């Protein structure tokens, strides 16, 4: 065990270093691009996350320069579309599905150029105002290097997949400043109802290193500046029903967002537009939605429109600190938060669904935070003594993770992120309830198409489960299942039909309790069609030379048949009088029907 830990430490540390540096480079480039395009060109002022300074939590825009935003969105979409069409189709979309697909179906392999091009494409999309998050691209960047590093040190396919997932978690742990949550998330996000335990140790090592590198550059603090209310927050069981309501709301809206995104994704893929134009068309539609929200919802400095641009975390920070409501959650404020949720979900669906390079995690954080603020603010108005104004910030944090925990099917990793982001364990019971309520409400709905239900469905584990299954399965059970005997008087045509119907390459022939041998489908098919009605299979029966005891495991039987170069073997009963239970073939043992495990388990 200790040798394996040391081995993975050597492998995971470089992954964490590069993931941390990659996340830092991506963040630097994104900040500069956003300031240039949205700030210098469009004249927007956007709030910043991670600060308690009110001066950095303001936002503004002006007419007519705001009209440049749709143009910037379209230009960004054109640039990304050309990159997708000419260079790397893998950089399209949010990136998480591509990483999950590589894990399950491609032995964890990601092309060398993908991390660099994903960085460029995501900076363009988000920097020009595309609605989305930076976590999806960062996780693909970290996962991509994990795959590349595995090839450089010549790891096996199994270990390459682990390195890929560890890199994915390292990217999340760094950019979210949540190392433990990132590692657990990486092991959990691959499935909707399972997790990858082998990813935990390397994932924790890589995530801690990536977090350390990233935070050394930007400072060791939480992603969002912690409001004073969270520092001294005291858990009260009386508030739990309110957090359950929050979980229901996040789950219901999560279903809506998932369907909205999947519809947009499918619509653009089925469209007849040139692949290079799809991101620009989606971005142009998002730009129209932005202008509509800007003109129709001018309240609170065009909050609903401006919060839908780029990452939007500064608006989450402002909402958490009460900058939007100023302590007064009126119907207008709550309605504005809900409008911002709708605008953000539609714009992200258009931008990312059309192929723009941005994550869905970030939008989930923004939408969940706004929902949490709206729900918390409503309960503050209705029950001010139980939900004081500072406690609304707790609803904001729990909401952002409840929303994503429900649609990502990664509740444990998300739950840990809540604690790491809040810096307080007293928030844990409320977060547990809300996240798992949202998880239950969403049911089988999940945002990532490439997730599989469990490890047994993953091609990555097919050989592993097959070997375990064969080692536990007596070959006698396979013989009983596959070899119901046939009489020698059966015609060749009947034998051919039976073989094709049940997928058998050899039939066991028995008469009056006496075993006669086997007849192969190959021999049956060599009989001319006009003679198959009159010829009996007794003329084609062959003896089977290799005999196997029925209590031998299927894996041992397969090895013995390969050693003897025998394609068919007869299985002899070891209980009672010696008799042939049936026949097994090498091909049949390599892919036995799953239902033969039921008798073996009894």
Domain ranges of the chain: 2-457, 473-488+506-518+538-601
* Omega before 64 within 30 of 0, i.e. cis: yes
DSSP-derived 3-state class of residue 557: helix
pLDDT in tens, 581-597: 778 888 777 765 544 44
Cα 301 to Cα 68, 267, 323, 401, 436, distances in angstroms: 18, 33, 12, 27, 35
Calpha distance 470→379 (Å, rounded)? 57
Q: What is the CA radius of gyration of the chain?
A: 30
Residue 229 pLDDT level (bands cut at 50, 70, 90): low
Calpha distance 484→579 (Å, rounded)? 14
pLDDT for 569 equals: 85
Strands 568-572 and 547-549, bridge-based pairing: parallel
Calpha distance 436→418 (Å, rounded)? 13
Crossing angle between the packed helical segments 135-152 and 2-34, to the nearest 10 degrees? 140
pLDDT for 266 equals: 92
Crossing angle between the packed helical segments 331-353 and 361-382, to the nearest 10 degrees? 170
pLDDT above 50 for 1: no
Is the CATH number 1.20.120.1200 carried by domain 2-457? Answer: no
Among the listed residues 34, 122, 121, the one whose alpha carbon sits nearest the alpha carbon of residue 86: 121
Crossing angle between the packed helical segments 179-188 and 157-175, to the nearest 10 degrees? 140
Phi, psi of 276 (to 5 degrees): -70, -20
| H or E element, residue 82 | helix 68-86
Calpha distance 82→80 (Å, rounded)? 5
DSSP-derived 3-state class of residue 176: coil
| H or E element, residue 281 | helix 278-296
Calpha distance 60→125 (Å, rounded)? 21
Strand partners, 519: 507
Residue 553 pLDDT level (bands cut at 50, 70, 90): confident
Highest mean pLDDT among 90-104, 282-296, 505-519: 282-296
CA angle 20, 25, 28 (to 5 degrees): 125
What is the DSSP secondary structure assignment for residue 571, as one 8-state letter?
E
Residue 18 pLDDT level (bands cut at 50, 70, 90): very high
What is the DSSP secondary structure assignment for residue 350, as one 8-state letter?
H
Least confident of 341-345, 440-444, 473-477: 473-477
Cα 577 to Cα 475, 516, 573, 580, 583, distances in angstroms: 18, 17, 7, 10, 18
DSSP-derived 3-state class of residue 354: coil
Strand partners, 549: 572
Q: What is the mean pLDDT of the chain?
A: 88
- Mean pLDDT over 151-180 rounds to 92
Token reading at 241 = 């029903």
Alpha-carbon dihedral of residues 70, 74, 80, 83, nearest 10 degrees? -160
pLDDT in tens, 492-529: 899 898 888 877 788 888 887 778 888 888 888 888 98
Do 139 and 95 touch, CB atoms closer than 8 A?
A: yes
CA angle 558, 561, 566 (to 5 degrees): 140
pLDDT above 50 for 34: yes
Crossing angle between the packed helical segments 240-270 and 392-408, to the nearest 10 degrees? 40
In CATH terms, the superfamily for domain 473-488+506-518+538-601 is CBS-domain (3.10.580.10)
pLDDT for 481 equals: 65
Crossing angle between the packed helical segments 411-422 and 428-442, to the nearest 10 degrees? 150
DSSP-derived 3-state class of residue 195: coil
Q: Under 8 Å CB-to-CB from 1, ≥6 apart: which residues?
A: none
In the block, tokens 């979309």 appear at 93
Instruction: State the SS3 of 452-468.
Output: ECCHHHCHHHHHHHHHH
Instruction: Tell me how crowded residue 195 is: count the other CB atoms within 10 A of its CB.
Output: 20
- Mean pLDDT over 368-384 rounds to 94
In the block, tokens 């990555």 appear at 460
Do 547 and 579 touch, CB atoms closer than 8 A?
A: no
Do 480 and 602 touch, CB atoms closer than 8 A?
A: no
Calpha distance 310→126 (Å, rounded)? 5
Residue 3 pLDDT level (bands cut at 50, 70, 90): low
pLDDT above 50 for 600: no
Calpha distance 136→43 (Å, rounded)? 28
Token reading at 89 = 């189709």
Instruction: Tell me how crowded residue 500 is: count the other CB atoms within 10 A of its CB.
Output: 12
């Amino acid at each position: 065990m200790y040798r394996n830990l040391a081995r993975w430490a050597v492998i995971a540390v470089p992954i964490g270093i590069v993931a941390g540096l990659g996340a830092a480079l991506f963040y630097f480039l994104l900040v500069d691009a956003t300031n240039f395009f949205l700030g210098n060109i469009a004249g927007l002022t956007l709030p910043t996350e991670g600060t308690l300074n009110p001066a950095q939590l303001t936002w503004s825009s002006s007419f007519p320069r705001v009209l440049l935003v749709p143009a910037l969105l379209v230009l960004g979409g054109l640039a990304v579309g050309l990159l997708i069409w000419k260079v790397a189709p893998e950089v399209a979309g949010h990136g998480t599905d591509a990483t999950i697909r590589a894990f399950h179906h491609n032995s964890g392999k990601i092309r060398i150029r993908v991390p660099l091009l994903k960085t460029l494409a995501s900076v363009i999309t988000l920097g020009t105002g595309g609605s989305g998050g930076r976590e999806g691209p960062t996780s693909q960047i970290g996962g991509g290097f994990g795959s590349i590093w595995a090839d450089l040190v010549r790891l096996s396919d199994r270990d390459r997949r682990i390195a890929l997932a560890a890199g994915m978690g390292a990217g999340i742990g760094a950019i979210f400043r949540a190392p433990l949550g990132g590692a657990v998330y990486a092991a959990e996000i691959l499935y909707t109802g399972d997790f990858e335990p082998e990813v935990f140790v390397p994932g924790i090592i890589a995530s801690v290193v990536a977090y350390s590198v990233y935070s050394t550059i930007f400072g060791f603090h939480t992603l969002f500046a912690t409001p004073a209310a969270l520092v001294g927050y005291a858990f009260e069981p009386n508030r739990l029903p309110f957090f359950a309501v929050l979980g229901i709301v996040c789950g219901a809206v999560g279903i809506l967002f998932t369907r909205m995104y999947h519809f947009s994704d499918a619509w653009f893929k089925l469209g007849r537009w040139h692949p290079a134009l799809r991101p620009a068309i989606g971005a142009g539609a998002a730009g129209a939605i932005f202008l509509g929200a800007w003109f129709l919802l001018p309240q609170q400095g065009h909050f609903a429109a401006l919060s839908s641009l780029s990452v939007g975390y500064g608006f989450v920070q402002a909402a958490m600190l009460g900058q939007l409501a100023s302590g007064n959650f009126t119907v207008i404020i709550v309605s504005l938060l809900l409008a911002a949720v709708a605008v953000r979900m539609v714009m992200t669906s258009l931008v990312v669904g059309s192929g723009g390079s941005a994550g869905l995690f970030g939008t989930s954080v923004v939408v969940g935070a706004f929902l949490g603020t709206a729900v918390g603010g409503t309960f503050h108005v209705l029950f001010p003594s139980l939900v004081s104004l500072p406690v609304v910030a707790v609803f904001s944090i729990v909401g952002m993770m409840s929303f994503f925990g429900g649609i990502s099917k990664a509740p444990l990793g998300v739950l840990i992120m809540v604690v790491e982001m809040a810096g307080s364990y007293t928030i844990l019971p409320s977060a547990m309830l809300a996240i798992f309520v949202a998880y239950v409400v969403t049911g089988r709905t999940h945002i990532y198409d490439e997730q599989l239900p469990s490890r047994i469905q993953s091609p990555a584990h097919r050989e592993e489960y097959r070997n375990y299954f064969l080692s536990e399965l007596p070959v006698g059970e396979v013989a009983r299942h596959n070899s119901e005997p046939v009489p020698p008087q059966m015609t060749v045509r009947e034998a051919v039909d039976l073989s094709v119907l049940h997928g058998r390459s050899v039939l066991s022939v028995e008469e009056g309790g006496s075993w006669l041998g086997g007849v192969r489908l190959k021999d049956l098919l060599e009989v001319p069609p006009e003679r198959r009605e009159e010829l009996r299979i007794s003329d084609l029966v062959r003896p089977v030379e290799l005999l196997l005891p029925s209590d031998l495991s299927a894996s041992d039987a397969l090895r013995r048949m390969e050693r003897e170069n025998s394609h068919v073997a007869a299985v002899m009963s070891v209980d009672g009088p010696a008799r042939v239970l049936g026949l097994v073939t090498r091909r049949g043992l390599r892919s036995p029907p799953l239902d033969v495990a039921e008798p073996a388990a009894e």
